[in-house]
Amino acid sequence: MNKKIFAISIIVLLVDQISKILISSFLKLNDMVIIINNFFKIYNINNYGAAFSIFNYKLEFLVIASIIALVLIYRYMYSFKKNLKNNIAFGFIIGGLLGNLIDRIFLGYVRDFISIKIFNYNYPVFNFADTFIVIGIILLIIAVIKGEDKINENKGK
């Protein structure tokens, strides 16, 4: 694995795990702290599913799906051009997937704590791993749109 992607993944993993430990240390389960009224609160919950509570209590499936996703990402990241944006994208996705996978394997659930309300819609509670994964996917979509998803095999010919 590219050293830059590896370093970014480790940083993301550490940010995710440390934030989860801090939240769990300062807030009891299901407790909440309002940061910005009607917009942002910290809410310590355990998520036994995936996004939007899909696959609730399907731990084995979610662990296997995460491992498959990691293998596929590892396989396809070498077909992308080596640039900072792609390194960040893959580092964010790998680190985020590992953060939630560690929770699932060692705890049986994922620790979520960020709660945001926008335009009267309460988004499902999430964590930093989820945020990094989404940002990484957006960066990869941009890379595909810009044609940075394929290494030019004809270069130098």
**Tens digits of per-residue pLDDT, 31-83?**
999 999 999 999 999 999 887 677 887 899 999 999 999 999 999 898 888 89
Q: CB of 45 within 8 A of CB of 125? A: yes
How many C-beta atoms lie closer than 10 Å to residue 110's C-beta? Answer: 23
pLDDT value of position 157: 39
pTM for this model (two decimals): 0.90
The catalytic residue positions are: 112, 130
User: Which amino acid, 91?
Assistant: G
The residues near 150 (Cβ < 8 Å, ≥ 6 apart) are 79, 80, 81
Give the pLDDT score at 156. 42
Rounded-to-integer distance, Cα 92 and Cα 16, Å: 11
Alpha-carbon distance 123 to 56, whole Å? Answer: 17
